[in-house]
Amino acid sequence: MPIKIQNDLPVKEILEKENIFVMDEHRAMHQDIRPIQILILNLMPLKEETELQLLRSLSNTPLQVDVTFMKVSTHEAKNTSMSHLNKFYLGFEEVRNQKFDGLIITGAPVEQMEFEEVDYWEELVEIMDWSVHNVTSTIFLCWGAQAGLYHFYGLPKVQLDKKMFGLFWHRVANRKIPLVRGFDDAFLAPHSRHTEVPMDLIRKCPELTVLAESEEAGLFLAMAKEGRQIFVMGHPEYDRVTLDTEYKRDLSKGLPIEIPVNYYKDNDPNNKPDLLWRATANNLYTNWLNYYVYQSTPYDLYGTPFK
């Protein structure tokens, strides 16, 4: 899939070196099709790293995707330059009057705080409410999934005894749903979090359909509103070394952290980790774009009201 991004976005060169089809603005203007409009609310601290991971994940269908990055205005980013944010990111006020085919709300390193204590919580609630009427389908990732489940369905998160950290085995729970089409019966996916939404509460919520879960890690994938809301409790977008970087970062800070589960060969951090979840991640995002965005979205986003 050609991804349309700004010509000088720094990760563009990396994507091109990986043979990912990146289309610049000039070429996109000369294609007589309507691209899929995807908005990414990037709440992760290392924003350029997350940009690369998500753009890589969105690059596996024949659709043309026009990606817009959004930031929250009620929080000052400390790990990304203001020049990068000002050049490549929009604030909510700048997109409020637009409609999008898809929205991705990322995770954030604030999971051990109460939702209402997060400085941008009210702004995030406003964005989530706005998405109901202005976005065809929204993916909520990790803490973003916990925030969405809490806001829309009143499901609380609970503190874990230790960090859920590593690659965990999951099983597909409902093969009739197109979102998991092509998934293996059992698959590995990364988790990196200190909190979770208990599975018994999720199962008791009639609006939610569980699509994949783990005996160890709990929920991986659920959906509501016939796919208009999709909750992913893990980090399928992570690249090969993300967990390695997090592990060694926490070690260097003297934080309590165990070796990520099922990640290093022979459980030895000196070994290069195998990339064992990329096919699942590609499948997930491809199915989302095809079945819940492209197949569902109106050609004229502004001429057809959202339900």
What's the chain's Rg over C-alpha atoms?
Answer: 19
Query: Could you give the C-alpha distances from 184 to 165, 212, 301, in angstroms and in order?
Result: 22, 11, 34
User: Does residue 237 have an active-site annotation?
Assistant: yes
User: Does residue 194 have an active-site annotation?
Assistant: no
Residue among 48, 51, 111, 235 flagged as catalytic:
235
Residue among 51, 142, 191, 196 flagged as catalytic:
142
Q: How far apart are CA 254 and CA 252, in angstroms?
A: 5
Q: Give DSSP secondary structure letters for 116-173.
A: GGSTTHHHHHHHHHHHHHHEEEEEEETHHHHHHHHHHH-PPPEEEEEEEEEEEEEEES
> Strand 135-141 relative to strand 100-105: parallel, antiparallel, unpaired?
parallel
User: Does residue 142 have an active-site annotation?
Assistant: yes
Among positive and negative, which fits the CA dihedral 89, 94, 100, 104?
positive
Residue among 48, 51, 196, 237 flagged as catalytic:
237
Choose among 304, 161, 292, 167: nearest CA to 230.
292
Active site members: 142, 235, 237
